[in-house]
């Protein structure tokens, strides 16, 4: 009765099976975690490609590519749909952007994350040549971008909603 309890330094067969099952589970789950991580990253940043929509007609006007450079967001027009003239330029812009082609033109710059939005940046309206202060906020799980452009204070502005291109 008072025998010593023997502990083997080697795992028993059931422990080996459990370890093998856990390793297999980890291998199967890892790619799904990566996909979920990539989706969460896409939902947490406006970086990506966006369709801009005309407020009045509801038609897609352009595609803007937003990129993250050292924590700041910048965006350029990648494509135009139904431009009024072939190869349109920013003829109403001033400075270095004056008469530059709209395709490739940087229209967003200097946005930094501030909680759940990006602020401190500016947006160029190539139809008027005006530059506005703006803020960006992701909506609908990152599929929509709320862009609020304003002059002076956010109350004096206009909001557009862009749609993420998957």
The pLDDT score that the predictor gives to residue 28 is 39
> Over 50: is that where the pLDDT of 45 sits?
yes
The pLDDT score that the predictor gives to residue 54 is 87
Task: For 31-44, give one letter per residue: b (16+ CB within 10 A) or e.
Answer: eeeeeeeeeeebee
The pLDDT score that the predictor gives to residue 19 is 39
The pLDDT score that the predictor gives to residue 55 is 80
Quickly state the pLDDT bin for 2 (edges 50, 70, 90): low
pTM (2 d.p.): 0.73
> Over 90: is that where the pLDDT of 3 sits?
no
Quickly state the pLDDT bin for 113 (edges 50, 70, 90): very high
For the segment 86-97, what is each residue's pLDDT rounded down to a tens digit?
A: 999 999 999 999
How far apart (Å, rounded) are the C-alpha atoms in residues 65 and 79?
9
The contacts of residue 80 (CB under 8 Å, 6+ apart) are 61, 62, 88, 102, 103
């Amino acid at each position: 009765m008072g025998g010593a309890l023997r502990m083997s330094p080697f795992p028993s067969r059931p422990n080996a099976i459990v370890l093998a099952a856990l390793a297999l589970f980890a291998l199967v789950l890892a790619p799904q975690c990566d996909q979920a991580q990539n989706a969460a990253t896409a939902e947490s940043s406006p970086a990506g490609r966006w369709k801009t929509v005309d407020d009045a007609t509801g038609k897609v006007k352009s595609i803007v590519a937003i990129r993250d450079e050292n924590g700041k967001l910048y965006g350029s027009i990648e494509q135009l749909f139904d431009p009024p003239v072939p190869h349109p330029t920013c003829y109403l812009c001033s400075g270095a952007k004056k008469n530059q082609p709209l395709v490739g033109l940087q229209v967003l710059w200097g946005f930094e994350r501030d909680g759940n939005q990006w602020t401190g940046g500016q947006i160029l309206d190539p139809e008027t040549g005006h530059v506005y202060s703006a803020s960006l906020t992701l909506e609908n799980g990152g599929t929509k971008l709320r862009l609020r452009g304003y002059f002076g204070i956010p109350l004096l502005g206009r909001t557009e909603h862009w749609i993420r291109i998957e």
